[in-house]
Amino acid sequence: MAEKNLSEKKCEACSIDAAVLTEQQINELLPQVPSWIVHEEEDIKRLFCSFAFTDYESSVNFTNLVAKLAEEEDHHPEIVLEWGNVTVSWWSHKIKGLHKNDFICASKTDDLFKNL
């Protein structure tokens, strides 16, 4: 049986002793979320992506969809809302780095944007 796409998976509970993803694991997952970049901020690797909109209301609506996703997955990103732009950053706060959950949520965020 073929492995599910990231967006078809559900986040798993991430404990404080869960391992952060290795560089190799990150590099294997990144092609599945090609619009996202890995950026290190305050010594923590995070996934970042900016989404462009033609008006503020669309930006707000997308932000609300991402917030709903975060609640459904019990995994919460940083969201920066600006006129015509929303930047989303996923990382696992408990382990101070990237976990597979972050890639799952990045993929689901892409799906939300594509389905607007």
Instruction: Give the whole-angstrom CA distance, residue 57 versus residue 83.
Output: 8
pLDDT one-digit tens code per residue, 6-30: 999 999 989 999 999 999 999 999 9
Superfamily of domain 21-114: Transcriptional coactivator/pterin dehydratase (3.30.1360.20)
pLDDT one-digit tens code per residue, 48-106: 999 999 999 999 999 999 999 999 999 999 999 999 999 999 999 999 999 999 999 99
User: Could you give the C-alpha distances from 21 to 1, 80, 95, 103, 106, in angstroms and in order?
Assistant: 24, 25, 10, 11, 15
pLDDT one-digit tens code per residue, 28-64: 999 999 999 999 999 999 999 999 999 999 999 999 9
Asked if 45 contacts 91 with a C-beta cutoff of 8 angstroms, the reply is yes
pLDDT at 1 over 50: no
Q: How confident is the model at residue 116 (pLDDT cuts 50, 70, 90)?
A: very high
Instruction: Give the whole-angstrom CA distance, residue 61 versus residue 57.
Output: 6
* Domain limits, the chain: 21-114
Instruction: Give the whole-angstrom CA distance, residue 35 versus residue 96.
Output: 22
